[in-house]
């Protein structure tokens, strides 16, 4: 009886190429990571440098919380008044409206695709949802402005809300069509695919043993989704939500069509407004040198808002992770 010897694997010792491959790979990935930080730093420094005359003239907090925007036309001095708060307010409101609408829809679609959908429908539905991410933003904007807003949003959403809840400050009239709510709805449609894709992947890798254990204890399918899958996927849900929020904060063309372009503050979602990215895109082409500096300052404000929201999101995840004991968070 012969004894089979174990198959020998590749000899990884005493190979001259490994002496150079490992250090080279370490240097390559280090350079790649450092390059990202350098590019980000250069972008921030250059933007702040271009916006510095406006920030110095208005004051940092005066610029962020000022409510009047009257651009000047000088080449060598600051003659206008620059307050970015209406644009910051509009950016936050439209993004929050988009997240409020998209989050439950994305969770429901992801749960259906991973837990409830028949196998013959799962892939076609997944491809259909993901195809929305391939649609250019200008197509969303044109479709929203020329069809969705006049045929659906205004007669069936905005006007009924104003008639029923017009006494409440969030839905005060008059209704124009272009509004914070219209822009938020189109943002929800745009960020739905990426949030759904992330949630679906998170739910798909959820521990099957925990699900079987819950079924063994008599839990229904709905209880398994609500008490097992969703809690254990919390970090992934927050990550997908923050990614969608980041897309909503920086969206430009689609919001430009539907937000209205008004440089005023309104607490009503049915009223037109403006966002930072939309205002930059709308005025940059014909802007004077002084106005360009003001638009660069808005870019700095957009960067600050984005970073602040991301930091707060990380603190929220860390805090809730400590309270729930979720090590994955």
* 23: CB partners within 8 A, 6+ apart: none
Q: What is the dotted CATH code of the domain comprising 86-277?
A: 1.10.3720.10
CA distance 206 to 148: 37
Record the tokens describing residue 82, joined without a space.
């620059």
CA distance 253 to 45: 26
CA distance 59 to 54: 8
Is residue 242 reached through a cis peptide bond, with omega within 30 degrees of 0 on the bond before it?
Answer: no
Looking at residue 285, its pLDDT comes to 81
Indicate left, alpha or beta for 128 from its phi (over 0: left) and psi (-120 to 50: alpha).
alpha
Instruction: For residue 6, count other CB atoms closer than 10 A to its CB.
Output: 5
- Helix 276-283 with 85-111: angle, nearest 10 deg: 120
Query: For 266, phi and psi rounded to 5 degrees?
Result: -145, 135
CA distance 157 to 149: 9
Looking at residue 314, its pLDDT comes to 75
What sign has the CA pseudo-torsion 283, 289, 294, 295? positive
**pLDDT tens for each residue of the chain, 329 residues long:** 445 555 555 555 555 555 677 788 888 889 988 998 899 889 889 989 888 989 888 888 888 898 888 888 877 788 888 888 999 999 999 999 999 999 999 999 999 988 888 888 888 888 888 788 788 889 999 999 999 999 998 999 888 988 888 888 888 878 888 899 999 999 999 999 889 988 988 888 887 888 888 888 888 888 888 888 888 888 788 888 888 888 888 888 899 999 988 888 888 898 999 999 999 988 888 878 888 888 999 999 998 888 888 787 777 767 766 665 554 44
**C-alpha of 192 from chain center:** 10
pTM: 0.84
Looking at residue 187, its pLDDT comes to 93
């Amino acid at each position: 009886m012969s004894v089979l010897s174990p198959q020998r694997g590749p000899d990884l010792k005493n190979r001259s190429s490994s002496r150079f491959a490992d250090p080279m790979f370490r240097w390559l990935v280090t350079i790649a990571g450092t390059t990202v930080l350098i590019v980000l730093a250069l972008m921030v420094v250059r933007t702040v440098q271009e916006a510095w005359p406006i920030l110095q003239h208005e004051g940092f907090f005066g610029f962020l919380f000022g409510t009047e925007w009257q651009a000047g036309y000088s080449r060598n001095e600051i003659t206008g008044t620059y307050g970015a708060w209406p644009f910051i307010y509009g950016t936050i409101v439209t993004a929050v409206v988009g997240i409020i609408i998209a989050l439950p829809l994305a969770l429901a679609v992801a749960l259906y695709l991973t837990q409830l959908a028949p196998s013959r429908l799962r892939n076609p539905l997944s491809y259909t949802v993901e195809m929305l991410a391939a649609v250019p933003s200008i197509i969303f904007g044109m479709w929203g402005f020329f069809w969705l807003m006049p045929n659906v949003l205004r007669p069936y959403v905005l006007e009924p809300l104003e008639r029923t809840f017009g006494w409440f400050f969030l839905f005060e009239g008059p209704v124009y069509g272009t509004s914070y709510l219209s822009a938020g709805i189109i943002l929800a449609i745009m960020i739905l695919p990426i949030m759904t894709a992330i949630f679906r992947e998170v739910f798909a890798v959820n521990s099957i043993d925990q699900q079987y254990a819950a079924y063994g204890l008599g839990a229904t399918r709905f209880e398994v989704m609500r008490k097992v899958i969703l809690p254990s996927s919390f970090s992934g849900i927050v990550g997908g939500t923050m990614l969608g929020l980041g897309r909503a904060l920086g969206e430009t063309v689609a919001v430009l069509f539907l937000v209205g372009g008004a440089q005023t503050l309104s607490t009503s979602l049915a009223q037109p407004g403006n966002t930072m990215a939309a205002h930059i895109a709308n005025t940059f082409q014909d802007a004077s040198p002084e106005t360009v500096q003001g638009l660069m300052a808005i870019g700095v404000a957009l960067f600050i808002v984005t970073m602040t929201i991301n930091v707060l999101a990380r603190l929220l995840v860390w805090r809730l992770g400590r309270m729930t004991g979720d090590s994955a968070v």
